[in-house]
Amino acid sequence: MRFEPPPATLRLRIDRDALTANWQALDRFSGEAQTGAAVKADCYGLGVAQCVPALRDAGAAAFFVAHWGEVAAVAAHVSSATIGVLHGVSTSAEANFARDIGGVPVINTVRQAQLWQDAGGGLCHLMVDTGINRIGLAPADIGNAAIQALNVDTLMSHLACAEEDSAENMRQLRLFRSIIPAIAHRRTSISNSAGTALGEAFACDLTRPGLALYGGKPNAGFAQHIRQVAYPQAAVLQIRHIAAGERVGYNGQFVAPAPLTTATVSLGYADGFLRARGHDASLTYQGTPLPVIGKVSMDMITLDARAAPMLREGDWLDVPFDLPQIAESSGLSQYELLTTLGHRFDRA
Ligand SMILES: *Cc1c(COP(=O)(O)O)cnc(C)c1O
């Protein structure tokens, strides 16, 4: 017998219309180029099942994940031939799996190229490192026989400073352009979300936005074009009344300055509400902000609920999720805010 759990006390609403509109906005930024979608890390924490069908229906036809373990969930919605795997193939097991499932490895090293050919090879992408010095082929290795033997769909590189107004972007683009004639390929691609705002020259044949699809704004150019996609909510577990001088939460860090009504809420750092967010943060009840007090726990936070006398156990609170704003106040990156959301939300 299988037990279906009851609805969670955490829910994450995905605004599919906003997701679609964001992809369309990035597609406009991409000009003549095709617009793909980075869907790694479970669509940056928002859920492959919720996001990939909307991106597919909007027109995306190139999807990127990092790990082979991420392919099957995406392939439930799109052809595996449209899924690029950014980490490439580091073992023969990965190369064989790639052949079996039909995902397309992004080859990053000479050794990966050899592993891929040894497994039978086939269409792949090729990542050349033009300055981030993280993963990707060194430009000097482009003439290597194992690389030249690859059947390359998309020749790609990745920008290190795309969200900044930095001379490094043009330097990387120039280096990338100098490599393009050195290997046969079908398409070129250098831009992530922020790269698409750098101008037409950066679009190449395919763009690979991630963050901005999900509501992140890597730079000011996106301000009016990108909409919030994720709306988390958490339920009140308990309402308490405490006296002045009583303490709240681990280590008794918060001391009630007056008699307080508190609300303990089903949301903690295991749900992406990291302690860095707890300072001067609020959740809202029907638009009324209720400040977080005391330390954030793994599964709970406590709020000063005096501003909402009608609040009852079981009521739902909105968790603010304007990404640029919360990144600013918490010191966390917009990427971290999305990808740490965790697995306990009911995503809908
Ligand atoms: C994650 C990733 C992207 C998407 O980047 P965003 O900044 O989220 O738009 C694009 N390309 C590569 C290689 C990536 O790793």
* Band (244; pLDDT cuts 50, 70, 90): very high
Whose Cα sits closest to atom 15 in ligand 1?
A: 86
Helix axes 92-101, 110-118, angle to 10 degrees: 60
Rounded alpha-carbon distances, angstroms, from residue 210 to 42, 120, 152: 11, 31, 23
Q: Look-up: residue for tokens 């990404």?
A: 323
User: Is 158's C-beta closer than 6 angstroms to any atom of ligand 1?
Assistant: yes
Instruction: Supply the pLDDT for residue 333.
Output: 98
CA–CA separation, 37 and 100 (whole Å): 23
Which DSSP state fits 200? G
Residue closest to 65 by CA, chosen among 81, 84, 49: 84
pLDDT digits (tens, 9 = 90+) for 144-173: 999 999 999 999 999 999 999 999 999 999
Ligand 1 center to 336 CA (angstroms): 13
Instruction: Supply the pLDDT for residue 85.
Output: 99
pLDDT digits (tens, 9 = 90+) for 165-213: 999 999 999 999 999 999 999 999 999 999 999 999 999 999 999 999 9
Percentages of the chain per state (helix, strand, coil), in multiples of 5: 35, 25, 45
pLDDT digits (tens, 9 = 90+) for 42-59: 999 999 999 999 999 999
Task: Indicate left, alpha or beta for 226 from its phi (over 0: left) and psi (-120 to 50: alpha).
Answer: beta
On average, the pLDDT of the chain sits at 97
* Band (117; pLDDT cuts 50, 70, 90): very high
Ligand 1 center to 251 CA (angstroms): 40
Instruction: Supply the pLDDT for residue 2.
Output: 83
The answer for residues whose C-beta is within 8 angstroms of residue 325's C-beta and 6 or more apart is none
Ligand 1 center to 41 CA (angstroms): 11
Please provide residue 128's backbone torsions phi and psi, each rounded to the nearest 5 degrees. Answer: -110, 130
CA–CA separation, 179 and 160 (whole Å): 18
User: Is 278's C-beta closer than 6 angstroms to any atom of ligand 1?
Assistant: no
Strands 104-107 and 83-85, by their bridges, are: parallel
Query: Per DSSP, what are the bridge partners of residue 285?
Result: 288
What are all long-range contacts of 180-185, with beta carbons under 8 Å and residues at least 24 apart? 180/155, 182/142, 182/143, 183/126, 183/142, 183/147, 183/148, 183/150, 183/152, 183/155, 184/152, 185/126, 185/152, 185/153, 185/154, 185/155
CA–CA separation, 246 and 252 (whole Å): 8
* Band (220; pLDDT cuts 50, 70, 90): confident
Global pTM value: 0.97
* Enzyme catalytic residues: 40, 250
Handedness of CA 94, 99, 102, 105 (dihedral sign): positive
Residue pair 41/210 in contact by the 8 Å Cβ criterion: no
pLDDT digits (tens, 9 = 90+) for 297-323: 999 999 999 999 999 999 999 999 999
Res. 73: pLDDT tops 90: yes
> For residue 344, with 0-12 CB atoms within 10 Å meaning exposed, 13-18 middle and 19 or more buried, which class applies?
middle
Atom of ligand 1 nearest to the CA of 86: 13
pLDDT digits (tens, 9 = 90+) for 255-303: 999 999 999 999 999 999 999 997 889 999 999 999 999 999 999 999 9
Neighbours of 49 (CB within 10 A): 15
